Structure 1
């Protein structure tokens, strides 16, 4: 049976930087197939390679610096963050790609997809997302559900 890791990345102490963690915590309240695992990855993406190699696919939920308005939602694949130096996946992109490489070296490298949101505040201490990102959050959750279900459909084939 194939397995999907939905990994929320971010720091909930830095406002919008925690959007991925907040999203995973909300999604955990819902029913998912037993092979869909939702994990709060915090900011320790470099230390999670031993977890990644157990999965066939990983959906990362995080902030994305794409230069658009705060609250903009992005869908990216691994090649998008590797091939575009201007694109940064949160503050953790290098660690995440390194972790994927290490997972591949010791076992299995999962397919990577990323769902991200453009932050407004990610440098100032706050346990709350900005109003802009709070307003976009329900749409972000819906896109995450769609991506999870897309993986589920692909796994069924």
Structure 2
């Protein structure tokens, strides 16, 4: 059986930058018994890489600045991030995406990016994303299901 991991990355001290962590925590709680392993990686890249060892399929959830409306979701193939020069969309996790790109033959996967509204020192999501949180959660959950059942 394939090892499937959903990894939430970001920083809870930087408002919307923590959206990936909040979503993975909620998914882990609501999807108990799922064959998918939900991991909070925060911004510790070495820890994230260690947790991904042995995985065959990875979905990373992170705040991604792509110029869309706050709360919008974009799905990127990890194998194409480097080719499309989109590796700078999440600069604090650049090393993680580079490492996964180099392992693209062994690890397949996607980045689910959520457009942030505000990133600054403060705990908790911006009011803008907090209002949309349930809708964002459902879209992310649906995206994960669609991607996992594609493999």
| TM norm. shorter chain > 0.5 | yes
CA apart distance, 1:49: 2.3
Counterpart among 129, 139, 151 of residue 125 in structure 2: 129
Residue in 1 that maps onto 2:116: 119
Gaps of 5+ in 2: none
Which residues of 2 match residues 1-157 of structure 1 at below 5 A?
1-85=1-85, 88-100=88-100, 104=103, 109-122=106-119, 124-154=120-150
| Matched pairs, number | 151
Q: Which runs of 5+ in 1 are unaligned?
A: none
> CA RMSD for the aligned pairs?
2.4
What TM-score comes out, normalization by structure 2 length?
0.85
Please list the CA deviations of residues 37-68 of structure 1 after superposition, one character each: whole Å capped at 9, or x if unmatched.
00001002244323223111111110111012
Q: What TM-score do you get using the length of structure 1 for normalisation?
A: 0.82
Deviation at 1:111, TM superposition (A): 0.9
SS of the residue corresponding to residue 24 of structure 2 reads helix
2:43 and 2:93 in contact (8 A); partners too = no
Q: CA deviation at 1:131?
A: 1.5
